[in-house]
Amino acid sequence: MPVLPGNCPFCGGNIDVTAFACHECEAAVEGRFAPNRLAALSGEQAEFVLAFVRRRGNIKELERELGLSYPTVRARLDGVIRALGFTVAEDEAAAEELRARRSDVLAAVERGEMTAAEAAQALKEI
């Protein structure tokens, strides 16, 4: 039986499930249902999650099973985390650093250490 895709296979957009049926009692339900969050994963990401669970989250064992390096396993795990709508710790740290750098530029303008034009240029470069 085909697996429900996470996104439209034609345009990549979000999909709605409009019907489902029970093979045992033949009951059917129609309407608009959002797919479960795991449906957002690509086939490769879903296989990675299955391997991750099978190895009880042990990255060393996952490296051996998949024949991948630690950075590659971490990158794939981060991709799964993002696909499920969560924030990766590195993303938060990078966002905080960006906010701090912008704040520093604005503070320099307030102190008169930088003109508005210089600040605009500095903010473009951040």
Q: In Å, what is the CA distance from 17 to each residue of 10, 12, 31, 80, 93?
A: 16, 15, 8, 22, 36
Residues 6+ apart with CB under 8 A from 123: 102, 105
Task: State the Cα–Cα distance between residues 57 and 50, nearest whole angstrom.
Answer: 10
Q: Which of 4-8, 62-66, 78-82, 98-102 has the lowest mean pLDDT?
A: 4-8
pLDDT at 27 over 80: yes
Contact 104, 125 (CB under 8 A): no
Share of the chain above pLDDT 90, in %: 50
Q: What is the pTM of this model?
A: 0.56
Contact 37, 24 (CB under 8 A): no
What DSSP character marks residue 77?
H
Contact 70, 63 (CB under 8 A): yes
Contact 39, 7 (CB under 8 A): no
- pLDDT for the residue numbered 1: 67
Task: State the Cα–Cα distance between residues 4 and 107, nearest whole angstrom.
Answer: 51
Q: What are the tens digits of pLDDT across the range 37-95?
A: 888 888 899 999 999 999 999 999 999 999 999 989 999 999 999 988 888 877 777 77
Structure tokens, 72: 């590659």
Task: State the Cα–Cα distance between residues 114 and 106, nearest whole angstrom.
Answer: 9
